[in-house]
Amino acid sequence: MYYFASDVHLGLTWEEYDHTRERIFAGWLDSIRKDAKEVYLVGDVFDFWFEYKRVVPKGFTRTLGKISEMTDAGIKVHFFTGNHDMWLRNYFERECGMIVHYRGELVSHAGKTIMVAHGDNISTEGQPMLRIMNRVFRSSLARRMFRKLLHPDLSMRFGKWWSAKSRKSKALKEEFRGEDEFLVKYAREWVATGLPIDYFVFGHIHCAEDYALNERSRVIFLGEWIEDPHYAVLDSEGNMKLIRL
């Protein structure tokens, strides 16, 4: 079985609520160990993550411990950076054994071709400010300056402020807009090229939706874990289901 989840946003301001949610997420990770071949964490697992050479954000021990147990047992865990947790160094790879992806990937499992991506930096045409922000925040220069100029305590405080500002700009749970979703439009562009993709699996949009593009191709939006946790699973026959926890 292949599992997909995104937008857990661990590290929200409300600490008691967040710890409860982390226990739920860690419990889910523990529950899928028995039959998971590979696990895909498709961005924004953390509400803010930034690494220094010898410093990482405190907390998240339940989640990182479960992931480490899985990778120690030979289960591949893929981590896709999102717009909230893109500033990595090598901690996830060296300490937790995860495979880190900084962009979307085409993968093949159970005879199906799957595009996996968080979705935040996809299709920025016609959005010059978004394109500039993506380039700045994903640049190695910006990361180096952030590390050099800010003490870890200050960087974490800034990150909390920035994440809170980002959350306030949109609802925690979003309404699905069908053909108007930019990621649906992006998927249709890929289908139009004739490349046979069975599933597009995206995070970023805070709605859980299984949307058919045609008889073959479907778009799976993984939803969020803040209010309404969902995940997707691909079985050995190549059938993918979106499941509410």
Q: What is the pLDDT of residues 113-134, one digit of tens each?
A: 999 999 887 754 555 555 555 5
Q: Bigger pLDDT: 155 or 120?
A: 120
Please classify residue 222 by burial: count the beta carbons closer than 10 Å to its beta carbon, then call 0-12 exposed, 13-18 middle and 19+ buried. buried
Q: Which residues pair with 114 in a beta bridge?
A: 107, 199
Q: Which residues pair with 99 in a beta bridge?
A: 78
**Total domains in the fold of the chain:** 1
CATH at residue 174: 3.60.21.10
Task: Give pTM, 2 decimals.
Answer: 0.85
Q: Residue 132's domain spans which residues? A: 2-244
Q: pLDDT per residue over 182-202, tens digit each?
A: 899 999 999 999 889 999 999
Token pair of 193 as six digits: 């090229």
